[in-house]
Amino acid sequence: MEIIVKSSDDAVAALCPVAESEGIATVFDRYKAQQPQCGFGSLGLCCRICWKGPCRVDPFGDGPSEGICGANRDTIVARNVARMMAAGAAAHSEHGRHIALAMQRVGKGELPAYQIRDPKKLTAIAERLQIDTKDKSVLQLAHDVATKTLEDYQNQDHHKGCHWISASVPKKRLDRLAKLGVLPHNIDATVAQIMARTHIGCDAEPGNVFLGGIKGALADFNGMSLATELSDAMFGTPAPVVTEANIGVIDRQSVNIAVNGHNPLLSEVICDVSREMNQAAIDAGAPGGINIVGICCTGNEVMMRHGVPLATNYLSQEMAILTGALDAMVVDVQCIMPSLPQIGDCFHTEVITTMADNKMQGARHVDFCEDNATATARKVIQFAIDAYGRRDANKINIPDIKRTAVVGFSAEAVMDALAQVDAVDPLKPLLDHIVTGNIQGIALFAGCNNTQSVQDESYQKIAKTLAANNVLLLATGCGAGAFAKNGLMNQQATELYAGEGLKAVLTAVGEAAGLNGPLPLVLHMGSCVDNSRAITLATALANRLNVDLSDLPLVASAPEAMSEKAVAIASWSVGLGIPTHLGTMPHVTGSQVVTELMTEGTKDLFGGYYLVETDPDLAGEKLVEVIRNKRLGLGI
């Protein structure tokens, strides 16, 4: 069998032959087995919305031009992409709701496993939400913040925008969104409305359907903003920490437990409990004790708050099991491959699901809720310790590949670092450097891995082009994982790849912040739910300059966008006025109307637009050009 490895990660190249020799199919094999992929689906021209279907519209005009109900290519494509935005918004917002409900109960003193670890952030959030903080205890304030947050899932007044988006973007942007009728008033209602209007026989006007989708994407922004901010208050606001990334962080001498998924509610407690159970692991024969490693965005969450090393990102999650030294993989929600239990069965690895609404065939399930958080954490750690005893030494193969990564640059951490340069006016040094051109602009890398690309490769190529052109780089999610694993999130990368102006700024700020060298080339802002952190920073800049977000030399890039969540993120980024690169061909090109609306029409509507370019070299050049034009618009 020919081994196809569409990855630039050396660890993946080292472990795929192990899969082959064991007769295990990985994501790369399954990708190959799917070729050629459905052309109708790739163009967005397949409709499965009702049981008269599925219907397909012929892209070449030879066959049917409409579905059985009469829906044409534009309606079908618009419905499909709007539904993706709704699913993304639902995913992030469920995550946010889970955190908000937990915080409300923390405020009532009902969840002893959790605390408010950052009361300063809690107060700052309360003030942003215009909650009276006077004479309130930390717990009272937590309750009030959570309660007001939950109103964003309940408000029925269409004229009132959700609290979180209203408190998070410039007024000019809010007014523009309100005028277009896309400002969400209620996350749940907005998602439900997209599902309702895209039901058979409802909204068939493609532009109207698409704008409904954008409203859902902005509800996604609202949900992810609240998830990030409340998590910071409960678990701590990230600050820079030095750690390591890539598969070599799995330790032969330790009980290795990978936390995989997105929601920090259980992984935080696993980190706490692992310290008290460390001796039990040593007693079981593992001299290194317990070694927690991260995968995907749960990995980002514990990496930025505890310095837990990152084993890998989305596409290579199966590789962690192939090392033969992973004793348990504990998963929560989102982006978890259903193939994991099957691969775990070929080794000794316990694959453990923990959420009642996120189970997998063949996995062990340990039901988690916040009331039993500590007991659940103990249980899964004990399963890992027991599994350690069943390891087959002959199957252990841990490629010695890992890179230093400096992570944890929340918006607050960035402001703290800048405050070391100008304590009175921390934004001033950043603004001054943007005006002088030492920093040409800012790029946020977000999104997933995708088998349509070579894993992690486009991230690195585009980042190097932008860095050489003095663009400040931020990253979240599996994009952040790509940079951390491949050595672009450390000080050496700054020395190697930053243009002179950018290098001088990163060095000055890094030295002032006591890092004995520059800031890393790419600033790690967290998991994919944390993209709102970049908007916090951008909003501060826009407000200071009295401009809208669309006026800033700011771009976003999702070189390997894959999930419905990524579609939602890219779409709110456009809605907030940011030119947003997609390195994956979106499933919309079957409709010229929708394609033109996304790449051109959105410029007039929002100032932001989708910039589709699958060639990473060209994408880097185009993003530099966008930033240059934005600078010209500002007269700098």
Q: Which residues are annotated as a binding site?
A: 38, 46-47, 50, 55, 69, 262, 297, 335, 448, 478, 528
398: nearest Cα among 450, 323, 337? 323
Stretch that binds ligand SF4, among 45-53, 235-243, 340-348, 612-620 (CB under 6 A): 45-53
Pick out residues in 198-257 that bind ligand SF4 (CB under 6 A): 200
Q: Which of 41, 53, 307, 362 binds ligand SF4 (CB under 6 A)?
A: 53
Rg, C-alpha atoms of the chain: 24
Query: What is the CA 193 to chain-centroid distance, rounded?
Result: 25
Q: Which of 43, 71, 310, 623 binds ligand SF4 (CB under 6 A)?
A: 71
The residue whose two tokens read 């070299």 is 617
Q: From the CB of residue 48, how many other CB atoms can be counted at a distance below 10 Å?
A: 12
499 contacts ligand SF4 (rule: CB under 6 A): no
User: What is residue 186's three-state secondary structure?
Assistant: coil
Q: Which of 13, 69, 174, 239 binds ligand SF4 (CB under 6 A)?
A: 69
Non-local CB neighbours of 243 within 8 Å, separated by 6+ positions: 303, 307, 308, 309, 310, 404, 405, 406, 407
Q: From the CB of residue 436, how many other CB atoms can be counted at a distance below 10 Å?
A: 11
Stretch that binds ligand SF4, among 68-76, 274-282, 437-445, 480-488 (CB under 6 A): 68-76
C-beta of residue 461 within 8 angstroms of C-beta of residue 488: no
**Least distance between ligand SF4 and beta carbon 69 (Å):** 3
Distance CA 615, CA 86 (A): 28
419 contacts ligand SF4 (rule: CB under 6 A): no
Residue 444 DSSP one-character state: E
195 contacts ligand SF4 (rule: CB under 6 A): no
Q: Which of 41, 54, 288, 601 binds ligand SF4 (CB under 6 A)?
A: 54
Q: Give the H/E segment covering residue 264.
A: helix 264-276
C-beta of residue 59 within 8 angstroms of C-beta of residue 194: no
Q: Which of 12, 16, 47, 321 binds ligand SF4 (CB under 6 A)?
A: 47
Between 72 and 492, name the residue whose CB sits nearer to ligand SF4: 72
Q: Which of 15, 18, 55, 182 binds ligand SF4 (CB under 6 A)?
A: 55
Between 49 and 598, name the residue whose CB sits nearer to ligand SF4: 49
Going by the annotation, the residues of the binding site for [4Fe-4S] cluster are: 38, 46-47, 50, 55, 69
C-beta of residue 398 within 8 angstroms of C-beta of residue 252: yes
Q: Which of 50, 242, 282, 545 binds ligand SF4 (CB under 6 A)?
A: 50
Stretch that binds ligand SF4, among 50-58, 101-109, 172-180, 512-520 (CB under 6 A): 50-58
Helix 206-235 crosses helix 296-306 at what angle (to 10 degrees)? 40
* Binding track over 4-43 against ligand SF4, x by CB under 6 A: ----------------------------------------
Pick out residues in 511-550 that bind ligand SF4 (CB under 6 A): none
**Least distance between ligand SF4 and beta carbon 58 (Å):** 13
Question: In 395-456, which ranges are continuous DSSP H helix?
Answer: 411-419, 427-436
Distance CA 494, CA 349 (A): 38
Interacting residue ranges for ligand SF4, rule: CB under 6 A:
47-50, 52-55, 67-69, 71, 76, 200
